[in-house]
Chain A
């Protein structure tokens, strides 16, 4: 019934519609570039464009929680990534749109997948984009496809920041969810080699490690990792586990809002406020039990709201650039991370969710 939408999911042989000539684009990005109709529930500026390499056989990894997992049922074009459809678009059309909308764009991010062509195609895409658009570019890398020289080359062609999707924050959990799985084999050690190399090549606060909350780790595991990364001037970007239907972890619930908010707060206190790991106390199960700080100092952090906004690469002006609206929750659900500065009413809810009385005396 509706007007035809150009450039999306073009008819034809899907097997031939692969990167680098085709890409998947997040729904929020498609809306921002007007490649799809739609809007956001709240009115806020959005210019963080996320694209994902696309291959007929999909990602060669098989992570237990991921919508793109190799053994998740369904064909690749039917699969979701962080629970939403990623429309397939022609790369040339996308770059044209990026150029047309450049003044509104804040950050571009290319997500690699584990595939033999991923590195070569990421370079190709980066060059096509940088020829037309000056918006800063990040790459969320697939470590199995990389080595040090390749990271150096990415920097030389204009990539500004590197993300590493560690997701599982302990070696044991990583092995369970990403290595010892039906078509797994990802190596914890390799991921950390890439973190180290990227940090050396791209510099301080130009590398980020994605950490997924709710995979079975403890608060202590998370907070310890935040501190270790901050010591290396590497960002921790928090993501909230949100079960993908039909994935091996489809039945696992999301972390509670209370836990999630406290983890957000702890990450902020370490990374932005400079708190040392020793200021956090944990119970015998590794749950966050206390923060050694004045109530007034913590209240000030909460009132600012930044701790609860999306962790993402900044725009050219240093302001949040990649904000992934509704990335790990549905629009009808409570904001897990806010793609804008929380309003006064949001902060009231956040305070209730945090229940600070329990952890800050």
Chain B
């Protein structure tokens, strides 16, 4: 099995084989020319608290960038899972819906959330963070913001 290249930022592992959406804390992995797998980045997971429940819109639902495609419930927090791209839901990760801990333990692997077709195979990926330098710069700044907000354990 191919190993995912990782970079470590303040103890958080970031996979470099995929793109990141700066605001939604979702990663996007291109699996076919017009098909992606979507999951949460470790900072999105960490700042939510201990995950309790994940739920997703059903297969066939329309995805709109910036709009929810599901819900995350943690120990003391509930919030939307916001799509980084527009398209159509092709698959949902039932295993993560049953055990949200899977997404905590393996966010880049078995803890993925949904798979989707892209409405615009090129355009939807523009604006996502792609290279290692911009990913680590963004992540470092976000981490500092969250530390100031007091939502990261110290």
Q: Which of B13, B45, B77, B106 contacts A331 (CB 8 A)?
A: B77
Interface residues of B in 59-76 (CB under 8 A from A): 71, 73-76
Judge whether A34 and B150 touch: CB under 8 Å.
yes
Cross-chain contact A3 with B77 (CB below 8 angstroms): no
Contact of A41 among B47, B78, B150 (CB under 8 A): B78
B10 on the A face (CB < 8 A): yes
Q: How many residues of B contact A (CB 8 A)?
A: 32
Contact call A39/B151, Cβ cutoff below 8 A: yes
A74 in the interface (beta carbon within 8 A): no
Given A3-B10, A34-B154, A332-B50 contact (CB < 8 Å):
no
Question: Does residue A326 face the partner (Cβ distance < 8 Å to B)?
Answer: yes
CB of A192 within 8 Å of the partner chain:
no
Instruction: From B10, B13, B53, B151, give the contact of A38 (CB < 8 A).
Output: B151
Tell which of A3, A40, A325 has the most Cβ of chain B within 10 Å: A3
- Which A residues are CB-close (under 8 A) to B11? 2-4
Identify the 7 closest CB pairs spanning chains A and B, nearest first. A38-B49, A3-B11, A331-B78, A5-B153, A332-B78, A39-B151, A37-B153
Q: How far is B52's CA from A3's CA once the two chains are assembled, in angstroms? A: 19
A354 at the interface (CB under 8 A from B): no
Asked if residues B75 and A85 are in contact (CB atoms below 8 Å), the reply is yes
With known contacts A1-B13, A3-B11, A5-B153, A37–B75 Cβ distance under 8 A: no
Instruction: Confirm or deny: A215 has a beta carbon within 8 angstroms of a beta carbon on chain B.
Output: no
Q: Does A198 sit within 8 A of B, measured CB to CB?
A: no
Chain B residues with Cβ below 8 Å from A148 are: none
A10-59, CB < 8 A from B:
27-28, 31, 34-41
**B107 CB contact (under 8 Å) in A1, A27, A35, A332:** A1
Complex Cα–Cα for A27 and B50 (A) = 9
CB–CB B46/A27 < 8 A: no
Question: Which chain B residues lie closer than 8 Å to A4 at the CB level?
Answer: 11
Q: Cβ of A84 < 8 Å from any Cβ of B?
A: yes
Taking the nearest CB of chain A, how far is it from the CB of B110, in angstroms?
A: 12
* B12 near A38: Cβ-Cβ < 8 Å: no
Distance in angstroms from B137 CB to nearest chain A CB is: 18
Q: Which residues of B from 5 to 45 have beta carbons under 8 Å from A?
A: 10-13, 42, 45
The answer to whether B76 and A325 touch across the interface, beta carbons within 8 angstroms, is: yes
Known: A1-B13, A3-B10, A330-B52. A38 touches B42 (CB 8 A): no
Shortest Cβ distance from residue A81 to the other chain B in the assembled complex, whole angstroms: 13
Judge if B48 is at the interface, Cβ distance under 8 Å: yes
Asked if B12 and A331 make an inter-chain contact with CB atoms under 8 angstroms apart, the answer reads no
